[in-house]
Amino acid sequence: SRLICVLSFVGVDLCGQQTSLSSRSMKMDRHGSTLPRRRGGTANPLADRSGGRTADRRLVEEAPMKTLRFETQPLAGYTVVEVGAYLAVPLVGQHLRQLGARVIAIERPSSARGAEEEAAWRPETTAELRSGKHVLEIDFTTEAGVLSARKLIYEQADVVIENFRPGALQQFGLDAQTCCAAKPDLVYLSMPGFASADAALAKVPAWESVVLAVSGVFRDMGVNRQLMGVPASYSPLPLASAYASVLAALGVLAALYRRERTGQGEMLEVPLASALLDTLVHNSMDFDCPERYLSQRQRAVLAARSGQPKEPLHYEEVQELMDPFYNHYRCSDGRPFYLVAPSHIRHQLRALQVLGLDEEACALGVPTAQPYASSDEADANVHGLGAGQVGDDWAPKLRALMRRAFLNNTAFEWEKLFGEAGVPGAAHRTTTEWLQSTHAVDSGLSVLDGRGRVRPGPPVWVFEEVSLSGEADREEPARKRPDVALTCEGSRGRLPDREPKPALGSSGSTAPASSASSCASFGGDSDNSGCALLEGVRILDLANVIAGPTIGTMLARFGADVTKLDAPTPMYSPDTTVIYGLATNKGKRSALIDIKDDAGRVAFEALVARSDLVVVNCTTECLARLGLCPARLRQLNPRAILVRFDAWGGPNEGKGKRAQHLGYDDNVQAAMGIMNRFGGGLGRIEEHAHVGTIDVMAGAGGALAAVAALLHRERRGPRGGGTIVARASLASLGQVLQFPFCCGDLRSLEEEAALAATSAGRECRGEHALLRCYEAADGEWLLLVASMAPLCGDALAKLAEAHPALAEATAEARLADGADDDCSLDAHLAAALSRVFRGTLAAKGADATIEERLSADKWSDLLLAAGVPAVRLRSIEEVRRANVQEAMDLCDGPSFQFVTDHVHPIGGPVTMFAPCSIRPRSQGAMRMSLTASPKYGDHTVEILREVGIDPEPLLARGVAATGWSSEYLPGFRARVQPREPQQPRSAGASRGRRMLAVSDWLDRCSTSPRPRSERATERGACARNGLAMTS
């Protein structure tokens, strides 16, 4: 009977026929199928059974007599005006469109300056970026064009996104200040390459590769490249645009969430350079790290820097320095497999069991590590099983055993075996292999159209899950919502009229009842300058490693109150929990509570009951073991939203053979072809060199899904419906990172991938001669970006005008033997330009009045003055040293901002990139200073008291703890007195609601926990055998 009721609510009668819908409430999807129109005011078929309005979601899955899942469109009814070119802004527009917004993309006329070059840049990518949008051609050089754009923004736009050069739109009256003054509820996003207030860089042409070069990316491509003596590396991945697109979409949704409650708009700026280093925060962090945490490769690099020079290592020699549990292995089919199981003893033991090596490893006598041993425990084994490294003595022996074992099966067979055993691993693929793989297609991560074309699925998605068991459908009083309409998408030309959205405060207002503890109490005309974008939000975050905890710290920036909850016994070693936590736990409180114990479970459920979001990074099977499925969550808190993050999930929830497999950033890079592209083929695969290449962006994507779900809940109202679930995965966000290589004709993509296998790798310096890194006479490196297209006539002419030697080089290339086709001519041009920049090809004739042996900086100045973008490659360390400041400045600060915490709780100074990538203009919209990541367990007592539980009995029984070690980072002796942890506060003392983060025990949760005595006995037996197991 409940199934009949639910189906009738969503428009299905008992005869299996869909009930009639008016033509006005229908639309065509991008494949021509007719779908019910999603309308902004009604988000839930269970929430509004009258008024004849169509829900903004549709039935997407019916689990067998258990649950129904409904796709939602949190941004239905919003209109976004997109004014941008190339990748960053159109990507933001796609993210918002995929969440339900109507996006109007303004493009320049084909005759406009730069239009021809833009049209030649990856037309397949541009077509996918325009897909589903309403495209208008407007000429800003005409008065009619400017008036048309202004009318569109003032009358229809809820959001404007643009990436013009700072100040360029001011002459048209389309800049942020002018538009927001005329329309105070407008959310206006600017995405310059460098911050508009950055006097040193704001005028540098901010091409993608220029941003990467100036930010230090091309010089610091990881320890492997440093050990191989590679001074400069070019990467085709659009890191800056991809990272910035996710952070920008997050900022827009956070601003819209506040607007729903207060009516206040916002001006946002997201500089690509700031977003790049914000996302690569783990690569620029500086503190005195104890040697026990340095890998063998890192120690080799430090030795070379400290005056012990060695010959560059070969690729194979570098592989010998990698930990056996964090390594690539060749399989029986010749394809490499990437095993990633450091720091986690259960993963390591399972890996040995899958390989059939558990007895041989035991015979070797590999010790069980004590990774949390303090500095005073000199005899403790800090390396071994369960640590970040097994140790220099044991690594070669284990690596040899594992190499032989991997030859027994193919890479795809190992992928299945390791996945089913719960061990993170992946077979290496090319990008096109990934896009056509069974899992990518079945999960919805990749969409094939049957005509040889492919596109990536959405990076984030939100759905509602309704239980049919009758245990989770309590309803609350309804609230009126605005009646808004979504106009036709995907068309070109004249815009249809838009139905007006009721103003806040009218009978269709979406604002909740006022509350003294929430910024919702600020009225439309009140001063909202002190209201943070997520003021008053509480989140329960059950996450670990990098991507999951990043969700919480991202949301903390916007004013959410975050508490991190972990188990009293750590699951990972300090390499993962503490060192990565320096960045991922900023702005949080920390408690250690065992939620498998009855008393700990009571505390945990009390925290769930007061939270807005519950964040987990785990599979659905692990979620069930945790006892936190959506139906149970709704029982504990009907308003709580589940934010679930995993490795391999896609929008076809639960589908795909890898849906229940574990995975890390590196595994996803391997599976979707990033390492193949960067290394130069499956024979020389390499990690894309940065820590958290996907992780941090994926965490920001999880935060984006979370805020989308909050916005959906705000607009839906409290009545009825199911549990709202916000979703993202490493794989879904990883595809954003290589978006240009994931859409278009499969055959063309395969040809491009084959070319990349021969032209990429450690010798790769660029795309072609006019977009390439060159060594200068002073030994520094220069990035030349004369043109996005090879052999561009205008670019060659500009080069020739910039310097006589460059004119000589272009002439020499044309006259060279064998330069009879474009490919050969480009190669000869690159060789000639290399000689010029190194100072070995001098200009001829009397006009050669400039010294030819110029430094990289001199070449940069000379070429920029001639209108040719060129910059010296910097290192991340150089960027950090030049940009350390006392405090973060979101309004007038430069693109790069590093802040040193001299009294960090670690006991020494820590320098870290400031979270300055999202820059709102209203005062108080973001937290200007996040508290340092606390020592694990610092707030256990405080949090237990907040939920009415006496902490002393739990501490005595080991159900709760105040630390994993006597030191913040085991092995790090404090050199300064750290600041005192935050003082306890009562549950009602803080303003608004809190955010809670729970992490490290997810993988250990079982259906029926064993008695402590049994687990202790088992640990003792394993220790005697030279191995270990977690409790």
**What positions carry a catalytic annotation?**
695
**Whole-number Å distance between alpha carbons of 348 and 697:** 27
Contact 398, 361 (CB under 8 A): yes
Q: Is the dihedral of CA 997, 999, 1002, 1006 positive or negative?
A: negative
The CA-CA-CA angle for residues 239, 240, 245, to 5°, reads 100
**C-alpha count within 13 angstroms, C-beta hemisphere, residue 124:** 17
Q: Beta strands of 605-681 (E only): which ranges?
A: 613-617, 641-646
Q: Report which secondary-structure segment, H or E, holds 34.
A: strand 34-36
Residue 378 tokens, joined: 């000199």
**C-alpha count within 13 angstroms, C-beta hemisphere, residue 440:** 27
Q: Report which secondary-structure segment, H or E, holds 441.
A: helix 438-443
Summarize the chain as % helix, strand, coil (round to 5).
35, 15, 50
Number of residues assigned to the chain: 1031
φ, ψ of residue 374 in degrees (nearest 5):
-80, 180
Question: Given phi > 0 = left and psi -120 to 50 = alpha, else beta, which region is 270?
Answer: beta
| Closest among 289, 935, 322, 931 to 577, alpha carbons compared | 935
Distances (CA, A) of 336 to 316, 318, 331, 531: 14, 16, 6, 52
**C-alpha count within 13 angstroms, C-beta hemisphere, residue 938:** 23
Contact 685, 597 (CB under 8 A): no
φ, ψ of residue 154 in degrees (nearest 5):
-70, -35
Q: Report which secondary-structure segment, H or E, holds 900.
A: strand 898-901
Exposed e or buried b per residue across 276-315, where buried means at least 16 C-beta atoms within 10 angstroms of its C-beta: bbbbbbbbbbbbebeebbbbebbebbeebeeeeeeeebeb
What is the DSSP annotation of 171-234?
A: GGT-SHHHHHHH-TT-EEEE--SS-TT-TTTTTS---HHHHHHHTTTTT---HHHHHTT-----
Q: Report which secondary-structure segment, H or E, holds 395.
A: helix 395-406
